Amino acid sequence: MEECLFCKIIKGEIPSEKVYEDELVLSFKDIKPEAPVHVLIIPKQHISSINDLNEDNAKVISHVFSVAKIIAKKLNIAETGYRIVSNCGEDGGQTVSHIHFHLLGGRTLRWPPG
């Protein structure tokens, strides 16, 4: 079976503009940014979506938010504000089946989303 796009990015088989990396997660710029700051934060472990999470994943998901805070500071949006989104399934707008968290900021974001 073809490996998923984000697993290929983790392995370096597909290039990405890395923003942060450690043993648990990788963060890189979204190829089609929807805001001045738009990065994705992904666990290195392949998990397809929120629907596939279990308690064993608690550490990495918690870590995603710790890393989001670090990146927000690094990219100067910690004070102005930002949004973290994880789309799940078809109605949620998920297009890549490797769980990921969008970190968006650098402009005023509308609510509710479309």
96 touching Zn ion, by CB under 5 A: no
Provide the edge-to-edge strand list for the sheet that holds 18-21: 18-21, 25-29, 37-43, 101-105, 82-85
Q: How far is Cα 44 from Cα 42, in angstroms, rounded to an integer? A: 6
- Please, are residues 99 and 42 in contact by the beta-carbon 8 Å criterion? yes
98 touching Zn ion, by CB under 5 A: yes
Residue type for 19, please?
A: V
Restricted to residues 31-60, the positions that interact with ligand AMP (CB under 6 A) are 31-32, 40
**Range in contact with Zn ion (rule: CB under 5 A) among 4-12, 25-33, 76-84, 103-111:** 4-12
Question: Which of 20, 46, 50, 57 is close enough to bind Zn ion by CB under 5 A?
Answer: 46
Q: How far is Cα 40 from Cα 23, in angstroms, rounded to an integer? A: 16
Catalytic residue among 46, 63, 100, 102: 100
Q: Is 102 a catalytic residue?
A: no
Q: How far is Cα 102 from Cα 11, in angstroms, rounded to an integer? A: 20
14 touching ligand AMP, by CB under 6 A: yes
27 touching ligand AMP, by CB under 6 A: no
Size of the site for ligand AMP (CB under 6 A): 13
Binding stretches for Zn ion (CB under 5 A): 4, 6-7, 46, 98
